[in-house]
Amino acid sequence: MKRLLLILSYLSIMLPAFANGSKSIEDALQKYISGKDARIGVSVIINGKDTVSVNGKWDFPMMSVVKFPLALTVAHWVDTNGMSLNDTVKFSENALNEDTYSPMLKKYGKSRNTMTVRELLEWSLVESDNNA
């Protein structure tokens, strides 16, 4: 996590410098990751159209990293649709997968079929619940 924050901090500092076209962002990223004892891949989308990628063809397991963009997507959807995190979401018991990691399912079973968006986000982000 510290390395991810370090890379994101680096990018937030360096990206404005590339607006002048003085140096290739790919070269800077390549230089930054070279010599590191890690398997690193970085992709950046600039202005919604230009994509810069270093080791972008490699497969990287997302694991819990995927929770952050999913939470952002949910928050955006809630905001765009005039909802709040306290609004209730209803789901059927068929939507719950018993063959995955789910402390939420373990606690409530399949009988509970409504939760607030906030509760589902908490189960997803804090407990890594795959059903949430």
The pLDDT value recorded for residue 108 is: 94
pTM of the model: 0.58
Q: Which residues lie across from 52 on neighbouring strands? A: 44
Q: Which among 34, 54, 74 is the end of a domain?
A: 54
**Distance, CA of 29 to chain centre:** 21
Question: Residue 9: which domain range?
Answer: 2-54
Q: How high is the mean pLDDT in each 10-residue block of the chain (132 residues)?
A: 55 54 69 83 77 82 81 93 95 93 94 94 92 92
Catalytically active residues are: 64
The pLDDT value recorded for residue 37 is: 83
Contact status, residue 131 vs residue 96, Cβ threshold 8 Å: yes
76 and 27 share a domain?
no
Number of domains in the chain: 2
Region of 35 on the Ramachandran plot (φ > 0 left; ψ -120 to 50 alpha; else beta): left
Of the chain, the end-to-end C-alpha distance in Å amounts to 23
The pLDDT value recorded for residue 17 is: 52
69 and 118 share a domain?
yes
50 and 67 share a domain?
no
Tell me, yes or no, whether 132 lies in a domain. no
The pLDDT value recorded for residue 5 is: 52
